[in-house]
Each structure stands twice: as structure tokens, then as C-alpha cells.
Amino acid sequence: MQRTKLISFGASCVGLVLLAGCSSSKQEDSATPPSKPAGKTAVMSQPPMKRVSDRPANTTGAVFVSEYHHIRTAKDQMSRSVDDFKNDLQQYYDLGFRPVLASEYLANKMPLPPGATPIIMTFDDANPTQLQLDASGNPTPDCAVGIWQEFAKTHPDFPVHATFFILPGRLWTTKKNDPAKVELLKKLGCELANHTVTHPYLSRLTDDKVKKELGDANSKLEELGAKLPGPMALPFGLSPKNKALLTDGFDYEGKQVKFTGVFLNGAGPARSPEDPKFNPFRVPRIIATKDPYGMDFWLKRAKDGKVKLYVSP
């Protein structure tokens, strides 16, 4: 987000409460004389995923959706230092979290190993500190993607797998947009998603202006090769007056604009997609901050066993 946001204690309290083998196939070549044995082609399957923990399965437990903005040293709620981001990755890993995309979470199709807990890593606004490339086209070591890539070298089961809620006019730069950044994120298995075009207070706009913000953003996402319909994140966590624009979709310039889910701003864990009370259009996130009810607070509660987390069977 572009401005500091307030985290409500009430929303946090909701978070507190939430709180395969190998096979082979035979192929016969009709050109082979009968006197010769038929050849065999081995088909290798993926090895089973290694169990992450011995925790019992809990598919209705709480889910952490992290919310990052800037990876830099600054005294504001929207900034996370390089060291703190590195520490976040290590804590997520040690606590049994494994990354999944927002779209995978919303569809309840999370590719998790047994005993793992999902974490949906989200990055807002396409700020430059999230992704920068060096002269060779590789992420710089002090941007979010570069830091995470380095971590994944020694933790290959925690790959760079994130959802970027972008502002299409920015795309991680203050200068000319670099298509190589988008291609890199696609290659890594990340996804791009709607965060409007200009980051307005949607609650203050007319329906037509809301449609333009969301519709133009979707058009740009389509140009960038994003899969639609997809998730979106509300600027400042504020919904438009007409919430049906989010839940039901709308027509814009001859196209249907729809969303698979809507992500909020703060302030606690989200519900599992298997929780009967799960609402895909009101998904809370946890801001990566040391402030009250930020990521530091919730990671400590998770460590202390005070959050009943989702655990994959």
C-alpha cells in the first residue's frame, strides 16, 4: 500500500479465534518382427513429497496470508528490512510453512507436502525493492525475489512462489517497465493479480470509476499473460460502495470482469477454504511489520501454539 493503514483490534480477534510410486507401460512396435521381443518404455512418476512435520492433519485450521510492500530499512508499517525479511523466511520454514499462490488457496488446490502449513506470500504495489535485475538479468541480492532465491538454494522445498498484486504503471520500477521481470516471475511460478491501476480509495468512487480502475487493471494483466479471472487486493483494504462489483463481476468495454477472491489489509489469519465460514471475498492478511497484530505478533503466537493452523494431511 502507499499509505499507512490502521489495523482493527476486532479483525484481529477474529484471527485469534480461527485460530505417488513408479509404473511402467508396454508399447509394441508394429514394425518389429515377431521374433523380437517387444520393447518397454519406463514411465517415471514423481517421488512422494517428504513429510514436513508430525503434526496431525487439520484442514480447517487458520491460514497465514503475508502482506509485503517495501523491502527496505524505514520506520513505517509498509517497510520490512532485508534482515527481517530473511528472518521471516527462516521462521516460516522452521514452523512448517510452505508457499502457495493466492489462486491455489482460493481454489482449495494447495500443493502441500504432508504435515505442512500453507503461507500465501503476497506483495503489493509492484514496488522496486521487491524485484530488481542486475546487468545479467538476475535478481539483485537485496530485493525480495533475490533474497528469497538465495534462501531457496538451501531450502529447495520453499521456492519463490508468490502472488504480486500489481499497479500496472509501475511494475517494480520508477523508469521504463522491463518485461524481463514479468517473464522471470512467470518462470519462477509466481502470479500477477489485480490491485487497481492508480491505488485509489474505492469507497469514494462512483461505480463507473470503480469499473474503470478494476477493468483497466484486468486488461493490463491479460496483456501480461496473467490467468483470469483471478484474485484482487483492495487498496487500503477499502471496498467500493457497491460490493456486488467484486462478488458478482461486471461488464467493461465488452469484457466480463470477475474475481475469484478479494484480499483485505490486515489484521490476522484467514480461514481455511474448508472452513464452513470461509468467505473468498473477505480474506484478511497479516502485514509484515513489528506493529501490533503484524507478522511478528502472529508468528510468536504460532510458535507458542496459540493458533490452530491448517496442516496438510
pLDDT, tens digit, for every residue of 251-277? 999 999 999 999 999 889 999 999 999
For position 46, what pLDDT does the model report?
Answer: 53
Q: How far is CA 127 from CA 78, 227, 257, in A?
A: 11, 21, 25
| pLDDT tens per residue, range 59-109 | 999 999 999 999 999 888 899 999 999 999 999 999 999 999 999 999 999
Provide the 10 A C-beta neighbour count for residue 209.
13
For position 266, what pLDDT does the model report?
Answer: 85
| pLDDT tens per residue, range 133-167 | 999 999 999 999 999 999 999 999 999 999 999 99
For position 47, what pLDDT does the model report?
Answer: 60
* Average of per-residue pLDDT across 192-198: 98
CA–CA dist 133, 143 (Å, integer) = 9
Q: What are phi and psi of 278, to 5 degrees?
A: -65, 130
Cell readout for 123 is: 506483495
**Domains assigned to the chain:** 62-303 (3.20.20.370)
pTM (2 d.p.)? 0.85
With residue 284 as reference, give the H or E element that holds it.
strand 283-287
| pLDDT tens per residue, range 105-133 | 999 999 999 999 999 999 999 999 999 99
- Do strands 40-43 and 23-26 pair parallel, antiparallel, or not at all (unpaired)? antiparallel
